[in-house]
Structure 1
Amino acid sequence: MLYQEEPEMADEQDKFQQLWERAEAGEAEAQFELAWKLGEEKTGNIPTDHIAERFWYERAAEQGHQGAMFNLAFMLSNHEGGENDIPRALELYRRCGELGDREAFFDYGVLLEKQGAPVEQVIAAYRRAETPEAWFNLALLYDYGRGVPVDHRRAVRYYQRAADAGHIEAACNLGASYHHGTGVRKDEHKAFFYIRFAAENGDELAYCGLAEGYYFGEGTRKNYRKAFEWFRRSYLQSRRAKAADWLGALYAEGKGVRRDLRKAFLWRKKAVASGDEPALFSLALMYIHGEGTEKKPDEARKLLARFLEHNPDDCDARYWLGMISPAAEALPHFDFVYRREHDPWSAWQIVRLGLKGECRFPPERFRELEKLLHLAVRKKIPGALRLLRSRRWQAEIRRKYMAETCM
């Protein structure tokens, strides 16, 4: 059985042939439409052909067709239909902008910035564009000092203009500026407002910020359930490692969700696998205490060592590494924490190590050990007062005096 060609398809081919003939006859609008059709995804019997698309945009642009000039500039700067021609693309964008196309001035500025042009030219192009995207890019220039001195106040002004025009990323950055008090007076209510606007409109970077706002009650009432939902959305949509660590924390604390240490452990494991540094510490603690998993001090030591590679001055990590390390390795960690923070718990651990085995303090350092024990007693560390009153400690005092007498 023979099948006839669909009438709609035949009609489409006829229209395409007529359009081609009009384009060959020199009609600029037909050349633009033909190029557009050739650049679309394949539909019917009309194949995509970027080389032909670029050719017809060239013909229409030669006749001053504004849309063709804009699209040709894009192709000339993105390796479509042939080699790049950046100087010509810049010229075409500039001409379109002068004809009233603000988007062309924005693309002109973006291309100038990519090519490393003088920042004055980039700023001038963005200012002439006067679009939300241009204001956002201007804000980034001043916020991060890209070719200009850092000026957070000016950055906030441009973020504000872009956000007021509905630019989602600008709203997210503006919220962060209000949260940190960067370039503007700190205001948690405004920070929450703009971050929520960005998150509810699909800005994935804002998800965690909004979740933290709900968790800490910054700019709004605390709502652990909503915090959990936004952290979960952040991980599911963008696989953010930070969100996985937060989900582990919420499961461990039972906030916004039923407490489940096994799920807390698995989420923190995902966070570590995704590259989240803080999760190295929180996962190590779960291995130390056997929360959601078996106690594995060796695994905990590896995780804490990795964490300290990036955070060598973190006292909490050093303290816990000392707690699960052999005595000789533990003492430097406790000593570091005590000298940094005058921490009574570290002082107590130094006393305990100083009274036994290979870490036993020599008589000349006993006075320092005595000072540490008294600090632990004042801070009511369990066991400190009992040791101070014990026969063992009295024996250490006698040994000290005997050593000093012999000197």
Structure 2
Amino acid sequence: MYKKHPRVPDAALGRDGGGTSADSAAAAAAAHQEEGKAGDEGDDPDQAAPPRERARSHVPPPLGDGGDDEEGVDFVSRLPDAVLGVIISLLPTKEGSKTTTLSQRWRPVWRTAPLNLDAGDLAPDGEALAALVDRILLAHEGAGRRFCIPAQHLHDRPDMVEGWLRSPALNNLEELEFTVLEGPCYKGRLLPPPPSIFHFSDTLRVVAISQCRVPDCTDLMLQFPKLKLLSFQQVKISENSLHSIMAGCPALEGLLLRRCYGFRCLRINSPTIRSVAFHSPCCGGHCDGEGIKYGDETNRWRRKYRKNIKSFNICLKTIVLDDYRGSNPQIQFATFFIQNTPKLENMIFTGGPNNGNAYFIAQQPKLLEFEKRASETARFHFRPKQCYYDWVHIKDVHDLSLADPFECSC
């Protein structure tokens, strides 16, 4: 019996929780080299470990025999194709396509994985981008998970977009987004949403529609039983259509309305909704919103619609009023929520030029009638504008799922 050779310490193999397989291999190689030197320099050859022992101590055991030295094994590549496909579908489009160059094992996986096609991850634009999207959809053999393209394609090539949405590569689509960049509103003629989106009504969980007009007849078809996040940006839609669509989304958790027009009142009656973002300045010369009036005019919404409110038990916990200047309409709007939100925890007034003025802040408890607040634990904060981004850090529909959508992300 020969003497058992000592194992490489766990710390050298990176088993303390912070090491990697590359670090482990490097440590083992260094230990092997030092042992070789010790055997060459010793005067007594019997003191050196037998070659068989040294070799045996550094050869990793076969997979699954319970050995300790399995750090160098590529366990990820041994996963089933279905699991690898889910991993790839969560990567950006460009990064997901690069997995085909990893090895022969990975080469076919991307083509059969649930497709995550986001045109924002791709370099070309215009005609070049359209041609690239066309090639990807034609070559893809699996189902679709996410399809995200600029809304400009709805105006420039509507027939091509309709063909994309009918591609088998987008079967069982879960996320559909037509995106817009920051800047002025689109001033051209708005087209209805592509009819093909109705084919995904049973599977869609995220929908972002931009630079479209929603005809009144369309609301009867826009029924999404699994939809959780809904966004309309630069969309013309009537009040009846908007409320009808929301009623057809029983699982809705987040709603984003940005630069939309065609309706004067927004009613939300949903037991599942958690986040609502509403931003409606003039868009393309349209200023139809009557819900909130800023300036010296009378706050008409409060006088006109208060009698129509069926319940004053508002369940909001955090309310943020941006660009608060202490005008009469703003005060009336704020006091409505202060007096009718029994679960309110924090109300934040930001962005006004006087929000750092001690005298201005000292006047607000009386003007806002804090003593009549519905929540005894509510706290009120007056803060200067933290950054110069004009939208409350909700840049797209996915920001609605954040725990704190008001947190500055600049």
For normalisation by structure 2, the TM-score amounts to 0.35
Larger radius of gyration: 1
For normalisation by structure 1, the TM-score amounts to 0.36
| Bigger relative contact order (CA 8 A; separation at least 6) | 2
